[in-house]
């Protein structure tokens, strides 16, 4: 990375003229990451030298600086224009998002104060056994607030009473006793992480008559309304940045290429039809000239020494063109359309009849049906290949997908016959049969349009998903630096949400992102 930065500085200059290295924001990001990396390496060397001189004592603690290494994946952004568009949109949206954040803070303050006035000191009573400090709970049930008056939760376990003191739910951090914890509880509810439990605890403490108004309005305003405001701001900024990128011609070549491919599909039909017409016209003119008394063609055959095999080949080409044209008409006909729909329907019924402990005769019937349906799908594929031509057939992404599904089905049949795979591997291949159901999208226009819209949406958010994964990697590595080996509990339960290695850290970050 340092060599790359040096070469760019030599090529572009460092700072004091137009188009210099540090005049580009993405180069500033790269240079900052490289500088921090080099600085960390130098401090590590100095720390090792001082540690050696002082016999293992002293030296700098560079662990905090090592955390900056996790920023290195951000260098990927400087090389991919689509990621730059997304990140620019987020940066440009910071000011509008700041205004929304101020609105959120004011709303948090208002609801925290209202919650403090309504529910202060109400969450510190629970059920104890009479005369003891032992919590009275049902097996596998956590303690919850209770009430001695009103419509709150009574203590129903024999020999128990509702009294305090009790720290409160979540080890005493979920309550409305002061402004700080009230803000924390309101923020927890806005994140929609366990807000229903907070509602139920308040209901247990004071009754279920009015608290639901407080919490439902909080969720509607704080979660749904604010979230849609944030999404609207980000969507607007992304649209602006994408339009700027299009005007600069970043996506112009890609759009032209896609348009060219669509035009080529239509031109191929016209070219094949024109070849057939031209061939028939040429043969007709040759036959007319022979009928008019001229013998130039016959003499030409004799001079060139053309034999019967060449004549046979020419006749075969003519009949091949005619037959391909007929096959092309067949694969585009309504009868063929409904035949494929019927085969897909029979395939769906065959798959849907499988169940646990099914009789042997049904298993045999399903196997026969699979072979017959696979043969029909293979015939359909071969017929379309012959009618359209190999090149034009594979120009369609759906036809490539169809060919993959059919070839996988044939491979599964061969592997089952030679019994060279484990039952689990064969079961995985059998799952690919389900993909045959997607064949209906090719022939069902409205469904095909819906799938095309979905795929276009996936392409549109691909760069956003890539940036999201990039940040997941960064925070996973940062979690390993900060929390690796720190999740040390007394119980022997194997915990998956840790930061001890990269796969577990990535899963933990994903779990946090889902809000679960």
Tokens 């409305």 correspond to what residue? 176
Q: Which phi and psi angles does 346 have, rounded to 5°?
A: -65, -40
Name the binding residues for Ca(2+).
193, 516
Domain boundaries, the chain: 1-79, 93-248, 319-443, 453-514
**Cα separation, 165 vs 185, whole angstroms:** 20
CA dihedral 414, 418, 419, 425 (to 10 degrees): -30
**pTM, rounded to two decimals:** 0.56
Q: Is the pLDDT of residue 491 over 80?
A: no
The pLDDT assigned to 438 comes to: 74
Binning pLDDT at 50, 70 and 90, where does residue 176 land?
A: very high
pLDDT of residue 363: 85
Distance CA 183, CA 171 (A): 17
Contact 50, 14 (CB under 8 A): no
Per-residue model confidence (pLDDT) at position 265: 67
Please give the radius of gyration of the chain, using alpha carbons only, rounded to the nearest integer: 36
pLDDT at 289: 45
Question: Rounded CA gap, 328 and 199, in Å?
Answer: 66
How does pLDDT run across 184-229, given as a tens digit for each residue? 999 989 888 888 999 999 988 888 778 889 999 999 988 888 878 8
Residues 107 and 220: beta-carbon distance below 8 Å: no
Architecture of domain 319-443: Up-down Bundle (1.20)
Question: How far apart are the C-alpha atoms of 98 and 293, rounded to whole Å?
Answer: 92
Residue 388 burial (CB < 10 Å; 0-12/13-18/19+)?
Answer: buried
Q: For residue 182, what pLDDT is reported?
A: 93
Name residue, tokens 């159901």: 437
For the chain, what percent of residues have pLDDT higher than 70? 80
Cβ-based burial of 222 (10 A; exposed 0-12, middle 13-18, buried ≥19): buried
Quote the mean pLDDT of the chain.
Answer: 79
The percentage of residues in the chain with a pLDDT greater than 90, rounded to a whole number, is 7
122 by Cβ neighbours in 10 Å (0-12 / 13-18 / 19+) ranks as: buried
Say how far apart CA 47 and CA 50 lie, in whole Å: 5
What angle do the packed helices 397-418 and 423-431 form, to 10 degrees?
A: 150
Residues 6+ apart with CB under 8 A from 73: 470, 473, 474
Average pLDDT of the segment spanning 46-57? 68
- Point out the least confidently predicted range of 79-83, 374-378, 405-409: 79-83
Question: 424-467: per-residue pLDDT in tens?
Answer: 566 676 777 777 777 777 767 777 777 777 777 777 677 778 88
Paired strand residues for 163: 126
**In CATH, 93-248 is 2.102.10.10:** no
Q: Which residue has the tokens 């540690």?
A: 51
Q: What is the pLDDT of residue 287?
A: 45
Distance CA 149, CA 206 (A): 8
Mean pLDDT of 49-76: 65
**Which contiguous run of DSSP H or E holds residue 160?**
strand 160-163
Indicate the pLDDT class of residue 490, thresholds 50, 70 and 90. low
Higher pLDDT, 364 or 257: 364
pLDDT of residue 288: 46
Q: Which residue has the tokens 């997304």?
A: 86
Q: Which residues are annotated as a binding site?
A: 193, 516
Torsion 368-369-370-376 (CA) sign: positive
The pLDDT value recorded for residue 307 is 64
Q: Which residue has the higher pLDDT, 306 or 71?
A: 71
For 332-444, where are the alpha helices, taking DSSP H only? 334-352, 360-388, 390-395, 397-418, 423-431, 440-443
Cβ–Cβ under 8 Å, residues 110 and 138: no
Q: Please report the pLDDT score of residue 291 as a whole number.
A: 46
Mean pLDDT of 318-346: 84
Q: How far apart are CA 369 and CA 28, in angstroms?
A: 64
């Amino acid at each position: 990375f340092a060599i790359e930065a040096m070469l760019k500085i030599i090529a572009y200059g460092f700072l004091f003229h137009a188009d210099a290295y540090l005049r580009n924001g993405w180069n500033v990001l790269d240079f900052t990451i490289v500088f921090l990396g080099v600085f960390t390496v130098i401090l590590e060397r100095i720390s090792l030298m001082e540690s050696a001189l002082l016999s293992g004592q002293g030296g700098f603690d560079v662990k905090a600086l090592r955390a900056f290494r996790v920023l290195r994946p951000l260098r990927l952004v400087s090389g991919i224009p689509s990621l730059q568009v997304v990140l620019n949109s987020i940066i440009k949206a910071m000011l509008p998002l700041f205004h929304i954040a101020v609105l959120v803070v004011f709303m948090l303050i208002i609801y925290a104060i209202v919650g403090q006035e309504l529910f202060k000191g109400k969450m510190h009573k629970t059920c104890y056994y009479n005369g003891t400090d032992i919590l009275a709970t049902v097996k596998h049930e956590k303690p919850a607030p209770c009430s001695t008056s009103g419509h709150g939760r009574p203590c129903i376990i024999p020999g128990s009473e509702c009294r305090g003191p009790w720290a409160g739910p979540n080890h005493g951090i979920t309550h409305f006793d002061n402004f700080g914890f009230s803000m924390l509880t309101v923020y927890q509810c806005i994140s929609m992480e366990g807000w229903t439990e907070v509602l139920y605890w308040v209901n247990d403490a004071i009754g279920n008559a009015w608290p639901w108004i407080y919490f439902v309005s909080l969720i509607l305003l704080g979660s749904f309304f604010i979230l849609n405001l944030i999404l609207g701001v980000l969507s607007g900024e992304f649209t602006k940045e994408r339009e700027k990128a299009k005007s600069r011609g970043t996506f112009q070549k890609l759009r032209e290429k896609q348009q060219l491919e669509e035009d080529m599909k239509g031109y191929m039909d016209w070219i094949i039809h024109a070849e057939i017409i031209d061939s028939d016209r040429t043969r007709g003119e040759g036959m007319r000239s022979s009928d008019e008394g001229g013998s130039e063609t016959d003499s030409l055959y004799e001079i060139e020494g053309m034999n019967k095999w060449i004549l046979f080949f020419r006749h075969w080409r003519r009949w091949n063109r005619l037959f391909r044209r007929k096959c092309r008409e067949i694969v585009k006909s309504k009868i063929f359309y409904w035949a494929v729909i019927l085969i897909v329907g029979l395939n769906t019924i065959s798959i849907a009849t499988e169940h646990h402990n099914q009789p042997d005769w049904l298993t045999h019937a399903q196997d026969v049906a699979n072979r017959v349906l696979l043969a029909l799908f293979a015939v359909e594929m071969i017929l379309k290949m012959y009618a359209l031509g190999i090149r034009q057939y594979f120009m369609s992404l759906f036809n490539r997908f169809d060919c993959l599904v059919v070839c996988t089905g044939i491979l599964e049949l061969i592997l089952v016959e030679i019994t060279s795979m484990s039952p689990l591997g064969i079961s995985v291949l059998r799952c690919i049969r389900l993909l045959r159901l997607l064949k209906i999208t090719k022939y069902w226009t409205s469904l095909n349009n819906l799938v095309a819209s979905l795929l276009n949406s996936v392409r549109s958010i691909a760069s956003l998903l890539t940036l999201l994964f990039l940040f997941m990697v960064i925070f996973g590595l940062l979690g390993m630096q900060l929390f690796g080996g720190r999740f040390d509990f007394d119980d022997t339960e194997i915990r998956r949400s840790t930061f001890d290695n990269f796969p577990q850290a990535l899963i933990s970050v994903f779990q946090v992102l889902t809000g679960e």
